[in-house]
Every structure is written in structure tokens, then in C-alpha cells.
């Protein structure tokens, strides 16, 4: 009992809260606290291996490190090769049991490739920095810590758990029908899905992620008749490609706005000629002030909250594009590598309510719904249409995708305890 109370005090929990937990759950809490240094050391080792999405060998090494953690816990671990999509592959670990299946989602890759100057783990007391430390190597460590706590408590033995850690979340391989095939299939047979990207803390309160917006890209190409600028706007030359581009983008700005929708224009060029590279990132253009532009190009993204909103906005964009200025043409193409939205369903909210029941029993504050506009797209979107899904169960931190990405190491304790208890309850009792 003295050890329990010591752990309670270290976690800032009130002793009466423990009365709401089972002995197995109290064992999970003790195990997570006792193994805190172990898991920080594991986080350091993972972070210090570069696993930028295009560093295929590095992604495989991190996968092997995770395999070494999961196989001793009774997981059957396999690697799904994805070289056909230009990516390393995915780690899939399954733990068969009599309980309801809980799918745990994370990823092995980071945005920091081998040429990034930001490469190593650094710690300053309870704060640590490193490439991908929160997105998503911290989330991977939370999963491992939770599984070890469940094993120590005896709840893992009968639990049905599937872990999918993709190797290309930051730059998914295409076609998505292949690169997300296994994840989609796992979502179709799961009873619940939990995603372990960063926990968001707002004004000191941990927030629950019941929704994420989609992420897709589009390319707009406009064309016009070229010739001497003295003839612009007349019946022969019309308005040219750049005016047609300006018309469309300004109509997007004025006519499309609605809640939970954004549509950014990231790159644009126009002239005679104008072109864009195969990757869709670099544009070139040339022209003279007295020549009507022949071609204009723009690329942007589209983020929506529900599939219905996505379809509606795409139709509206297409309708705007079709209203051509005289003697111009335009073509709008949506890329096939779109991340679907994780819509805010009642099932997702019910999962957050179950997590808040865990919070109550552990003496932790309740978690409100996070505004989906504060999150990017994630792999959870590929399963959320088939299974109740909750996200943001990884480390708390910040500066994601930038030099100086950091995490609060103390958040590892409460996140791993929450996850272990929640997964055990979902798999073994469904409540």
C-alpha cells in the first residue's frame, strides 16, 4: 500500500480515486511509474535513429526496434513491405485474445530526412527535444509502455490488440489503395480504434481528439490565347490564362467559406510558358509585360471535416472553374493521395466518454473535445468510417514538424496509464 500511495502522490492523484480502480488497474499504474526511466531511454534510442520517410533503411531499423519490444509480450509481428509504393513498409503486430479487438495506430517515420540538421535526442529535466520525438516516436513508446503495463497486470493475456505502425505517414506511398490496404482492412474488423499521435493541451487541459479534418491536394491549370497585349480583353484574345486563374482563386476566396473548411494556395506561376515539376512543388514561368499569358498553374490543399463536406466543396470548386472568361480554359484535378477525414461521430464521442471514465477513476481531470481545426490529417482517417475512433493519445509537446520539436516527458506517465486502463476495459469488458 505504501508503494501505491507513493505512486499516487507522484502522479498528483487523490487517494480516493484509487478506490474506483481494480487491483489489475492499480498494477498498471505502478508498472508505468516504475518503468518511466526505461521508456525514456527507449524513446531516446528511437529518436536517435533517423527514420525520415524516404530513409527506407532507417524506417526498417526503427521497426526492428519496436519488434524487439513487442514480441516478448506475446505479439505476432510481421513487416509488410511497401517498396512497390516507394516506401519502406509497415509493422503490424497482433495479440489474439477473447476480447473485443482494439486497433492501435501510430507511425515509424518522421518528416526529418537524413539531410536535416536536427537529428538527435536532448533532455533538459522533464522536457526533451528530437526529430519525431512527439510525432510519432513518443506515441510508439506510449503504446509499448501500455502493453507492458497490461502484461504485468495480467490483462494483456486475454486482450485482442492489433498494432499498426505505418512507415510513410508523413509522405504516404501511392497508390493509397496499396499503401493503406492493411490499415483499412484492420479497421473493418476492429471494435475500437485508438490513434497515438500527439496529445494536445489547451490552457493547461488535456484535450480529446474525436475528429480530424481531411487533407487532399489539387492542381489548377488555366490557359488562354497568347498574343500582343494591345488585344487583351477583345473578342480575339480574350482575358488570358492569368486573369482566368485570378478569377477562379478569388471566387474560391469569396464563395467557398464555411465552418471547418480551409483551402490554401501553396504555389502559383503564370506566363508564356509556365510549367510545374513532376513532384508538384517547383514551378517555372517566363513572359513579357506586353504578351498575354498562355498558361497559369496553381497547387493547393483542401481540408474538410466530413466526407459529405468534402464532396460538396469539390463540386462547388468544379462549378466555379467551369465559368470561363472569354477565350480561356481551365482544368481542376484532385490528387489521388487524399487523407480522408475523421468525422466527429457519436461513436467517437462515446469513446471519449469512456476515456473520461478512466480519467475519473484515476483522479485525472476530464478531457474536452478538441477543435478539429487544430489538428492535421492522420492515418486514423482511413479507419474512422468503419470503427469508432479516438486520437491524440501520444505525448504532450509542441513544435511538431520543426527543429526543436519537443515533448513533456512527464506526460508519458499519465498517457500510458490512461491507455493501458482504457485498452483493457475496451477489450475485456467493452465498457
| Local structure of 362: helix, strand or coil | helix
| H helical segments located in 55-121 | 56-70
Per DSSP, 2 falls in state H
Distance CA 62, CA 210 (A): 29
For 302, the grid coordinates are 483542401
* From-to residues of CATH 3.40.630.10 in the chain: 2-212+340-428
**Rounded to whole angstroms, how far apart are CA atoms 155 and 139?**
21
Would you state the cell numbers that stand for residue 38, as one nine-digit string?
A: 526505461
pLDDT of 278? 84
Residue whose C-alpha is closest to residue 108's, from 171, 152, 151, 20: 171
CATH of 216-334, one of 1.10.10.10, 3.30.70.360, 3.40.720.10, 3.90.1150.10: 3.30.70.360
Q: Note the pLDDT of residue 337.
A: 79
Nearest CA among 115, 107, 113 for reference residue 62: 107
Its CATH architecture, for the domain 2-212+340-428, is 3-Layer(aba) Sandwich (3.40)
Provide the whole-model pTM. Answer: 0.91
Q: What's residue 258's pLDDT?
A: 96
Phi, psi of 65 (to 5 degrees): -65, -40
> Of 268, 56, 277, 36, which Cα lies nearest the Cα of 145?
36
Question: Which residues belong to CATH 3.30.70.360 in the chain?
Answer: 216-334
Whole-angstrom distance, CA of residue 103 vs CA of residue 407: 24
In the three-class reduction of DSSP (H, G, I as helix; E, B as strand; rest coil), residue 305 is classed as coil
In this prediction, the residues of the chain whose per-residue pLDDT falls under 50 are 1-16
pLDDT at residue 7, rounded to an integer: 45
DSSP one-letter code for 371: P
Residue 336 pLDDT = 81
What is the structure's pLDDT at 17?
54
Predicted local confidence at residue 77, as pLDDT: 98
Residue 24's Cα: distance from chain center in Å?
Answer: 32
So what's the pLDDT on residue 429? 81
CB within 8 Å of 36: residues ≥ 6 apart: 412, 413
Q: Do the Cβ atoms of 331 and 203 come closer than 8 Å?
A: no
Amino acid at each position: 500500500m505504501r508503494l501505491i500511495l507513493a505512486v499516487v502522490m507522484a502522479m498528483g492523484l487523490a487517494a480516493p480515486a484509487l478506490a474506483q480502480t481494480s487491483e489489475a488497474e492499480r498494477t498498471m499504474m505502478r508498472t508505468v511509474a516504475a518503468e518511466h526511466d526505461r521508456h525514456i531511454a527507449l524513446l531516446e534510442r528511437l529518436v536517435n535513429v533517423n527514420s525520415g520517410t524516404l530513409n527506407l533503411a532507417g524506417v526498417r531499423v526503427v521497426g526492428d526496434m519496436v519488434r524487439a519490444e513487442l514480441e516478448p509480450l506475446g505479439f505476432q509481428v510481421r513487416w509488410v513491405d511497401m517498396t512497390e509504393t516507394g516506401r519502406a513498409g509497415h509493422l503490424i503486430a497482433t495479440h489474439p485474445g477473447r476480447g473485443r479487438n482494439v486497433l492501435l495506430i501510430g507511425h515509424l517515420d518522421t518528416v526529418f530526412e537524413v539531410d536535416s540538421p536536427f537529428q538527435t535526442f536532448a533532455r533538459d529535466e522533464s522536457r526533451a527535444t528530437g526529430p519525431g520525438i512527439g510525432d510519432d516516436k513518443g506515441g510508439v513508446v506510449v503504446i509499448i509502455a501500455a502493453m507492458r503495463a497490461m502484461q504485468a497486470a495480467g490483462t494483456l493475456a486475454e486482450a485482442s490488440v492489433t498494432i499498426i505502425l505505418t512507415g510513410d505517414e508523413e509522405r504516404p506511398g501511392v497508390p493509397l489503395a496499396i499503401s493503406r490496404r492493411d490499415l483499412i482492412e484492420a479497421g473493418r474488423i476492429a471494435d475500437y480504434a485508438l490513434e497515438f499521435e500527439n496529445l494536445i493541451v489547451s490552457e493547461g487541459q488535456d484535450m480529446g481528439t474525436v475528429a480530424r479534418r481531411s487533407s487532399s491536394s489539387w492542381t489548377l491549370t488555366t490557359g488562354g490565347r497568347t498574343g500582343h497585349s494591345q488585344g487583351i480583353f477583345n473578342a480575339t484574345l480574350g482575358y488570358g490564362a492569368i486573369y482566368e486563374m485570378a478569377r477562379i482563386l478569388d471566387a474560391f476566396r469569396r464563395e467557398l467559406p464555411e465552418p471547418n473548411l480551409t483551402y490554401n494556395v501553396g504555389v502559383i506561376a503564370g506566363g508564356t510558358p509556365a510549367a510545374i515539376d513532376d513532384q508538384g512543388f517547383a514551378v517555372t514561368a517566363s513572359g513579357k509585360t506586353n504578351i498575354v499569358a498562355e498558361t497559369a498553374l496553381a497547387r493547393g490543399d483542401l481540408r474538410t471535416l466530413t466526407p459529405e463536406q468534402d464532396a460538396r466543396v469539390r463540386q462547388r470548386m468544379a462549378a466555379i472553374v467551369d465559368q470561363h472568361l472569354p477565350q480561356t480554359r481551365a482544368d481542376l484535378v484532385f490528387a489521388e493521395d487524399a487523407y480522408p477525414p475523421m468525422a466527429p461521430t457519436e461513436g467517437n464521442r462515446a469513446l471519449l466518454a469512456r476515456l473520461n471514465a478512466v480519467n475519473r477513476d484515476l483522479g485525472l481531470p476530464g478531457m474536452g473535445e478538441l477543435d478539429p481545426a487544430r489538428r492535421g490529417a492522420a492515418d486514423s482517417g482511413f479507419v474512422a468510417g468503419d470503427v469508432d475512433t479516438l486520437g491524440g493519445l501520444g505525448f504532450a509537446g509542441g513544435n511538431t514538424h520543426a527543429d526543436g520539436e519537443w515533448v513533456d516527458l512527464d506526460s508519458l506517465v499519465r498517457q500510458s496509464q490512461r491507455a493501458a486502463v482504457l485498452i483493457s476495459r475496451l477489450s475485456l469488458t467493452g465498457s
